[in-house]
Amino acid sequence: MDKPDLSVRIAGVLLQNPVIAASGCFGYGNEYAEIIEVSSLGGICTKGLTFKPRGGNRGERLYETPAGLLNSIGLENPGIEAFIEKELPRMRTLGPALIANLSGGDMDEYAQGARLLDDSAVDMIELNISCPNVRSGGMAFGLDGERAAALTAVVRKAAAHKPLMVKLSPNAPDIAAVARACADAGADAFSLVNTFKAMAIDTERRRPVFDNVGAGLSGPAIRPLALRMVWELYGALHMQSPRGANRSKPLPIVGLGGIAWANDALEFLMAGAVAVQVGSASFARPPSMTEIIAGIGEYMRAHGLKTTAELNIRESYPGPGDSTPGA
Ligand SMILES: Cc1cc2nc3c(=O)[nH]c(=O)nc-3n(C[C@H](O)[C@H](O)[C@H](O)COP(=O)(O)O)c2cc1C
């Protein structure tokens, strides 16, 4: 049988395979170039970038939990101008599609950053409205549809030439409502999920581990939750017709959350994701993404599948999804 075709297109951007390094877990790709074959990845998302440089949060920043990782980095980054000047030229030589993860403290800062990125050599912008670790901006924009749509519209206008993927928060009470509002405001794709707001307490010191108290939970612990959210969002965007008519165009979803092995990635692709991102797993096992790409190819060969779209089983389960909790 012919080699399966792993390539995918997201909002017009061609990726050689559906595996993307998630934001904040792969630096700017350059750092990993000596450890793994970075050129074999489908895409790389940068660490969250802001118009102005940021030093990040004080105190503890990373804390391991059973099957998970808590982080409170606080968007440490050199600022978008410095990123474009110092990191992007080398990143551009690596090969994978380049996705700039854009954040900001308020709408103006997002817009200023978006304008700079619009003029740069990145292939796509991932709009981060879901960072739980900053006091202003970040997740505050991602919890309700109105604020998320207002920000999406501002960034859409400021970066008119770049495909725009909005990174949704699993902490929003109604993720589908946020997504529909962003779609109407000009989003081209979604990524889901960012980290879940969580915390830990240092019992000896009798105080929360993190200075901000809350932190973001990632890793295998969140995978079944994230998978359920991707399944439901696909149903809401692609299959459900609110009030009789599907008003929003069905935008592609990039799924992530706890993916560490090929089988994990296959679950998300079956749930309707067009591609996946891998975050925390790269810390524990740097070659995890290259292994996942190989594993997806092997699975497709073994099952006689020619394209990754054939992995999608979601269309066989009509409706928005059943979120009834088990007993
Ligand atoms: C240390 C760390 C830093 C992160 N920084 C960012 C960031 O800057 N922007 C962003 O959108 N997501 C950030 N994330 C979230 C990840 O991109 C991803 O959405 C989340 O970790 C879930 O995926 P995973 O379970 O595969 O890690 C960060 C996650 C970790 C663990």
Domain boundaries, given as residue ranges, for the chain? 8-316
Residue 24 in contact with residue 47, Cβ under 8 Å? Answer: yes
Q: What 3-state class would DSSP assign to 13?
A: strand
List alpha helices for 188-238, DSSP H.
223-234
Tell me how far the alpha carbon of residue 225 lies from the centroid of ligand 1, in angstroms. 15
For the stretch 234-276, pLDDT in tens is 999 998 755 444 445 589 999 999 999 999 999 999 999 999 9
DSSP letter, residue 327: -
Residue (of 150, 76, 82, 155) closest to 118 by Cα position: 155
Q: Are strands 196-199 and 214-218 parallel, antiparallel or unpaired?
A: antiparallel
- The superfamily in CATH containing domain 8-316 is Aldolase class I (3.20.20.70)
**Atom of ligand 1 at shortest range from CA of 220:** 25
Neighbours of 84 (CB within 10 A): 18
Residue 247 in contact with residue 184, Cβ under 8 Å? Answer: yes
Tell me which residues are annotated as active site.
131
Residue 148 in contact with residue 113, Cβ under 8 Å? Answer: no
Residue numbers in the chain where pLDDT is lower than 70: 1, 133-138, 241-249, 320-327
**Atom of ligand 1 at shortest range from CA of 280:** 27
Tell me how far the alpha carbon of residue 306 lies from the centroid of ligand 1, in angstroms. 31
Helix axis angle, 145-158 to 107-118, nearest 10°: 30
What whole-number distance in Å separates Cα of residue 51 and Cα of residue 110? 7
Return phi, psi of residue 255, to 5°: -100, 145
Q: Which residue among 195, 210, 217, 254 is best mutated to probe the pocket of ligand 1, counting the most ligand atoms within 8 A of its Cβ?
A: 195
Tell me how far the alpha carbon of residue 181 lies from the centroid of ligand 1, in angstroms. 23
Q: What angle do CA 252, 95, 285 make, to 5 degrees?
A: 80
Return phi, psi of residue 214, to 5°: -80, 155
State the Cα torsion 22-28-30-35 to the nearest 10°: -30
At 57 the pLDDT is 86
At 40 the pLDDT is 97
At 244 the pLDDT is 45
Tell me how far the alpha carbon of residue 176 lies from the centroid of ligand 1, in angstroms. 21
Residue ID of nearest Cα to ligand 1 atom 10: 23
Residue ID of nearest Cα to ligand 1 atom 31: 280
Tell me how far the alpha carbon of residue 36 lies from the centroid of ligand 1, in angstroms. 20
Q: Which residue among 20, 25, 65 is best mutated to probe the pocket of ligand 1, counting the most ligand atoms within 8 A of its Cβ?
A: 25
Residue 166 in contact with residue 159, Cβ under 8 Å? Answer: no
Residue ID of nearest Cα to ligand 1 atom 17: 23
Q: Which residue among 222, 280, 288, 292 is best mutated to probe the pocket of ligand 1, counting the most ligand atoms within 8 A of its Cβ?
A: 280
What whole-number distance in Å separates Cα of residue 41 and Cα of residue 289? 7
